Amino acid sequence: MSKNVWFETVAEVQRRAEKRLPRSVHKAILAGTEKGVTYADNTAAFSELGLAPHVAGLHATRDLTTTVMGQPISLPVFISPAGVQAVSPDGEVAVARAAASRGTIMSLSSFAGKPVEEVVAANPQTFFQMYWSGSRETIRQRLERARAAGAKGLILTLDWCFTSGRDWGSPRIPERMNLKTIISLLPQVIVRPQWLLEFARAGYIPDLTTPNLAEPGKAAPTFFEAYGEWMQTPPATWDDVAWLRQEWGGPFMLKGITRIDDARHAVDAGVTAISVSNHGGNNLDTTPASIRMLPSIAAAVGSQVEIVLDGGIRRGSDVAKALALGARAVMIGRAYLWGLAANGQTGVENVLDILRSGLDATLFGLGHTSIRELNPADLVIPPGFGRALGQADR
């Protein structure tokens, strides 16, 4: 994989990743659900928001730094958790190194293909993400492993309804990568040989197991074995959220908030932060774009809890728009996965640099010295842009 290839936009990174990856792997990153309305709206909504720049009295330097759940970061962008990153041999470890090199947080999915111990070693500023899967005792064991590894925060993701149909077809994800599976995938791999060559040079084939969900002394379950446990676990209650927050006892984020009433319940459960997110358009299709729901949620609970936005971030100006509407920072998902696929760790660094540069330019044009000065007056917000879901119960 070339280490000298540099991309100027996330759109170009996406095109390069698609050229490199076998069709099933690329479709797994694209994901989405049903007609893909929410997936498309996550990015389209940012284009509906205009900017209101100044022309004089601008500032030579800008401060992009912030903190998220007590962790200082050099820009208000950090890595969102994503499972089994088999797009590059180093997977989540490469992403963690890239995030560390750019001074930001790595969030590691419990469905990741690399152990939490390796990822924390690559980036001490790591948050560990969990689903409500298994018994309370099983969940406790997993969070204790993350704590022992040095994870700085815990993320609980609840916005998943197990929808699977996609109008453009779902990717073929095998149960295991054995010789039979490899042979069946050859027609895809032959036309995208660079992906397989990278794994061949690393000396192994992609591993579709989930080591962070392994029971003590047992082998790691496959992705589908772990998914099956998750599907069979009774859904979490607000009491379960409060219990997990108390068990962790440290910085705690609830990911997947789309409604004002749920945001208030999260505050009552004692969370440190919430992520306004529709799971990248992978949950219930036709849910509004995350950025449309952000202002009403920020107005309701922004003084009580940290708010981050997840979904649709492709440019530094998108980051500025999210911060102007009440987010403390944003999380990125597909953007960094495309970077990882296109150019490994360097590709992820490239994506973070694109966002940093775009944010800095936007802040400059808006006449601000710090991201903390961003506000709705910096934007041209069309009538009817926002969506306020759920009634505030007080």
The answer to whether the beta carbons of residues 19 and 261 sit under 8 Å apart is no
Distance of alpha carbon 216 from alpha carbon 214, whole angstroms: 6
At 326, give phi and psi (nearest 5°). 120, 0
Token duo for residue 394: 């007080």
Instruction: Classify residue 391 by its DSSP letter.
Output: -
Q: Is 54 a catalytic residue?
A: no
Residue 79: CB atoms within 10 Å: 27
Token duo for residue 158: 């609840």
Q: Which residues of 86-101 are buried (b: 16+ CB within 10 A; e: fewer)?
A: bbbbbbbbbbbbbbbe
Helix runs in the chain, H state only: 10-20, 23-30, 37-48, 91-101, 116-122, 136-149, 179-190, 193-202, 223-232, 238-248, 260-268, 290-301, 316-324, 334-365
**Whats the size of the chain, residue-wise?**
394
**Which residues lie closer than 8 Å to 296 by C-beta, 6 or more apart?**
260, 386, 387, 388, 389
* Active-site residue, selected from the candidate residues 26, 54, 59, 279: 279
Residue type, 50: G
Report CA-CA distances (Å) from 97 to 81, 198, 388.
15, 18, 38
Residue type, 310: D
Compute the C-alpha angle 169/170/172, nearest 5°.
Answer: 125
Active site members = 279
